[in-house]
Amino acid sequence: MDGFLSSVRAAWQHLVDTGHVDETVVRPEVAQSWLRCRGLGIDPRAPKLPVMLDARRLAAVREENRILIETALPFMEFLRTAVKGTGFILVLTERSGVVLEVFGDEDILAMARDNNYVPGCSRAEEVAGTNAISLALIEKRPVQLTGAEHWNVRHHLWTCAAAPVFSPEGMLLGAVTLSGETTRAHRHTLGMVISAAEAIRERLREREMAEEKRGSDVLLASVLGSISEAIITIDAAGMVTHINPAACKSLAVTAGEIQGKPFVRLFPSQPELAQLLPVRGDNAAFEVSSERPGGRGHFVITPYVMYANEAVTGAILALRERREFLNEVREFSGFNAVFTFDDILGESPALLRQIELARTAARQNTRILILGETGTGKELFAQSIHNCSPRRSGPFVALNCAAIPRELMESEIFGYRSGAFTGARKGGQVGKLELADGGTIFLDEINQMPLDLQSKLLRALQEGTITRLGDTRPIRIDVRVIAAANEDLYGKSRTGEFRQDLYYRLSVVELALPPLRERGDDIALIARHLLDTLGEKIDKPALSLSPPAIELLRQYPWPGNVRELENVLEMGAIMAEGSIIEPAHVAYRMRETQRREAPLPVAPAATQAPPAADVRSMRDIELELIRSAIEEFNGNVDLVGRKLGLSRATVYRRMQQHGIVKQVTVK
């Protein structure tokens, strides 16, 4: 060491005297610094440097570097302890070389003060000449200088090791330096300041991350607080990180009670939620329940799982009251009634009596049974009843019992829990009774419901609760039931084909809808209404029926009721060349129906079809129309055909088939 120090001192002296540097002895970075100092005219034998900053200006610089000082102080304290009693001082400077902090033993601090090596002084190269601090800041790498490697002769008694401090983004912030007497120079000194500088940078990174997280937390808390929907956020371990005021209100908790605690504490009756994220790697909604003042609350949670590098990092949990969630499902699924009593067309006394009874019953929260043949408008009545009732703002859910396979009917009506059976949907399924909560359920063709399921429905109606398949927890529901059947349900209950107790439970009010054949005066009214809609469908505006066609419709028995009438009219509209539908255009479809001799459905007791002897065949109706037209036009076949919508050849053929031998004329 002594030989090295002597060689460097000689090189320093040679430079001072001649202006030339022996770079075989002096390190290049030191030699370049010496030359810069000589070029700037810095006196290598100058007395001690003055303190550059007064107290006010130093305070301002310290404030600018407050984060650096706060972050570095713990490490400076540690290093001071490590070098205590060794004669070293520890210095922190900012990026331009101004000393911010000085730590050390009193004797070495006194030596430093004698050289004005104190807070507020500058160790910039253009001020103090070559020194470890300035060189570390210029080179932006650790530097250790000993003895005459310093430019100023007053610093030749010192050995200094300095390491630059960088921000996490790589910006130069300052330097950490250990300085002591030259005789105490040690190679480990540089390693200590390098470690300190790296530790300060890492702590700055952690501080930035913490600040970013605090900022994110504040922003997230602000955003969540402004959202009306109840939101909870959890980390990958299932710990609650945030809960907004809406969620606190729904669950009757405070943020302080639950933040930082396991999510499962909110729902202690469901311990499986402790493994919420490991088990549920999807966004499927699930149900939870929680005790709160006023009773148990039922909620649906939709998780939005968050990932980073394909690993689950947490989740945002949207919490909704079960009824609110079901209302959204109903809205998107179209569970609502669109028809009212004003949409029911007809003026026949039999129909008007049933409408009046239905209006009266609608205002009460009573069950209604609607009986009638297929196509008589049972669902139209059910929707009208719902829209006339106090439940009009609630859902209207329709279920056709004949359209669902027997093995799926129970799950369709009552719903099921996830995993209840093979093929069950993940997350389970809400049943139709539950979807109708607060509103009306319409069970069409209830006569097709299996007996074992009838007993479960009866219990649900009696207790006001349902239990999903695979579950044990009952769910309370408030549902009005309107049932319908196209058979004599009372008769079936007498023969054991339908539960008698369920029949009486359903038929508090019983409506019997008359078939179309008993509403002769309404046929023309309904037909005109159907033609208005039909004209738009097939692009034939202003469709109408000729008087003979209307008469033909009135005399037909309509086994398929309004649905059959609609089909016949559409067929007639398609066949008609113009906008007027004649008997021949509608008769074809009617003849086909009678030719197949499809038996009429058995009507309910109150709406039995008239005896077969009272129903005329299509042959009788057609024969009467042809004879009437021949008499009207005195046997003019052209006029007869024009009125009936038939060609002359067809008129002759029909006359021959019916045995009409009246004299006719040809014009």
Of the candidates 646, 492, 497, 656, the one whose C-alpha atom is nearest the C-alpha of residue 583 is 646
- Give 227-322's CATH code, choosing from 1.10.3210.10, 3.40.50.620, 3.30.450.20, 3.40.980.10: 3.30.450.20
Joined tokens for residue 119: 């807070």
Summarised one tens digit per residue, pLDDT across range 181-219 is 887 766 678 888 999 999 999 999 988 888 877 776 677
- Name the fold adopted by 616-667: Arc Repressor Mutant, subunit A (1.10.10)
Summarised one tens digit per residue, pLDDT across range 158-182 is 899 999 999 999 999 999 999 888 8
Residue type, 652: Y
Neighbour tally for 665: CB within 10 Å:
11
- Does residue 154 or residue 298 have the better pLDDT? 154
**Domain residue spans in the chain?**
2-207, 227-322, 334-509, 515-615, 616-667
Query: Are β-strands 396-400 and 544-545 bridged in parallel, bridged antiparallel, or unpaired?
Result: unpaired
Could you give the 3-state DSSP secondary structure of residue 84?
A: coil
Domains 2-207 and 515-615 share a fold: no
Residue type, 200: I
CA distance 665 to 481: 65
pLDDT at 297 over 80: no
Strand ranges in 445-498 using DSSP code E only, listed in sequence order: 465-466, 475-476, 480-485
pLDDT at 32 over 50: yes
In the structure, what pLDDT confidence band is assigned to residue 282 with cuts at 50, 70 and 90? low
* 148-151 long-range contacts, CB within 8 A, separation 24+: 148/5, 148/8, 148/9, 148/11, 148/12, 149/8, 149/12, 149/26, 149/27, 149/30, 151/33, 151/34, 151/37, 151/42, 151/44
CATH 3.30.450.40 at 2-207, yes or no: yes
CA distance 391 to 507: 19
pLDDT of residue 620: 65
- Name the fold adopted by 334-509: Rossmann fold (3.40.50)
Helix and strand counts by DSSP (H, E) for the chain: 26, 21
CA distance 98 to 555: 112
Out of 135-144, 299-308, 564-573, give the one with best mean pLDDT. Answer: 135-144
Q: How much of the chain is in helix, strand and coil states, percent to nearest 5?
A: 50, 20, 30
Q: Give CATH for domain 515-615.
A: 1.10.8.60
pLDDT of residue 614: 38
